[in-house]
Amino acid sequence: MILLGEKNTLTALRHTSVGMFLGDAYGNDVLLPNKFVPENLREGDSMEVFVYTDSEDRIVATTQQPALMVNQFGYLQVKALSNFGAFLDWGLDKDLLVPFREQPEPLKVGQWTAVYLRLDLDTERLVGSCKVNRFLEPEPIGFQEGQEVKAFVYERSDLG
């Protein structure tokens, strides 16, 4: 199964005028556009690619490395604003949309923001959400005094 928003190891199936089709063991395939096809890639070769939807909502593969995979948190910079929301730079040609409804406060160009990458099940598109609280799950705390921990700071409050 080809997973949207994740890295997939796929097999080169056939080359066309627009790129190489890559496939999985279940008969699913996805286009790797020509600009991402390595010169030495041959039919039958395997390669790791990231799969997402392009600007025309087609599922495509890329060799570009995104800053986030689906269901991950990160910090991204706002590149542009539109009538739909804010577009964040996440390392791909197509910027990541954070719709207005997913912004607790309006974002500004140049601003860095905490974001969660999710798959919108209604549209089957990858979208960002700055309402990160909705995606946090409580975990048992088993820390020892003096133990180093990793933290993801996403908001300031009166408490800290």
The pLDDT tens digits of the residues spanning 42-73 come to 999 999 999 999 888 899 999 999 999 999 99
Q: Six-digit token pair at 136?
A: 């946090």
Q: Six-digit token pair at 110?
A: 């140049």
CATH number of 73-132: 2.40.50.140
Whether the Cβ atoms of residue 66 and residue 92 lie closer than 8 Å to each other: yes
27, 112, 134 from 69: Cα distances, Å: 24, 18, 17
The full set of domain ranges for the chain reads 7-62, 73-132
Averaged confidence pLDDT in the chain: 93
Q: Which pLDDT band, with edges at 50, 70 and 90, does 106 fall under?
A: very high
Whether the Cβ atoms of residue 24 and residue 2 lie closer than 8 Å to each other: yes
Distance separating alpha carbons of residues 150 and 138, to the nearest angstrom: 15
Q: Which CATH class is domain 7-62?
A: mainly beta
Closest CA to 113 of 88, 92, 93, 137: 88
Q: Which pLDDT band, with edges at 50, 70 and 90, does 158 fall under?
A: confident
Check the CA dihedral 140-144-147-153 and report its sign. positive
Neighbours of 72 (CB within 10 A): 15
Please, what's the largest Cα pairwise distance for the chain? 61
- What confidence score (pLDDT) does residue 55 get? 84
The pair phi, psi for residue 56, each rounded to 5°, is -105, 20
Extended strands (E) in the chain? 7-15, 19-23, 29-33, 46-53, 59-62, 73-81, 85-89, 96-99, 112-120, 125-129
| 7-62 and 73-132 agree in CATH topology | yes
Position with higher pLDDT, 160 vs 111: 111
Name the pairing type of β-strands 59-62 and 112-120: unpaired
